[in-house]
Amino acid sequence: MKPMRVYFDTSVFGGYFDEEFQAASQKLFGAVLTGGVVALISDTLVGELVNAPEQVQNLLQRVIDFGCERLPLEREAEQLQDAYLAAGVVTAQYADDALHVAHATLARADVIVSWNFKHLVNPLRVRAFNGVNIAQGYGSVIIMTPSNINGVLEENDEEKQGV
C-alpha cells in the first residue's frame, strides 16, 4: 500500500513541542521520517513558521530535508480560498486556514492533519469546506488530528501483519 499523503497545518508543528499534543504529534512525525507518511508542505505553512521558535523551524527543515511534497502558492488555491471565505466557512481573520484546505484540496491529499479544533478539525466546517469543493468541481477533504491518523496507521500495520 502506498504511504498516506498528509497535508500538515501549522498547529501540528507546534504540537510536537506542546505537552498536551506532543506524544501524538511526535509519533506522526516519526511516521514521516520513516517513510510511512508523505508530508505535504505548502509555501503557506513555511511562511507561517518563519517567525516560529527555532525548534519548530528545525523540525520543519528536518521534514523538508527528509523529503516531502512541496506545494507552491498558486492562483487556483487563492481562488478556492476566496470561495471558502465568500461561503462563510471561515471569516477573513482565519483566511490562512482556508488556504491550507485549498492547498490540500488541489493536491488531492488523503487527509489534512491539524490540532485546530475551531476552524479545521470540526465536522461542521469540514462539511462546509466540502460543500464549496463539490460546488467548485473539486473532491472532498478529510481533516483529522494526529491521534486519529496514528490510529489509522496502526490499523493498517495490524492488517499487514494479519492481526
For β-strands 69-71 and 37-42, DSSP reports them as parallel
pLDDT band at 1 (very low <50, low <70, confident <90, very high): confident
Chain segment 23-82, per-residue pLDDT in tens = 999 999 999 999 999 999 999 999 999 999 999 999 999 999 999 999 999 999 999 999
Q: Tell me the CATH number for domain 4-157.
A: 3.40.50.1010
Percentage, residues of the chain above pLDDT 70:
96
Cα 32 to Cα 28, 67, 93, 94: the distances in Å are: 7, 9, 31, 27
C-alpha cell at 17: 513541542
Per-domain residue ranges of the chain:
4-157
For residues 96-104, average pLDDT: 98
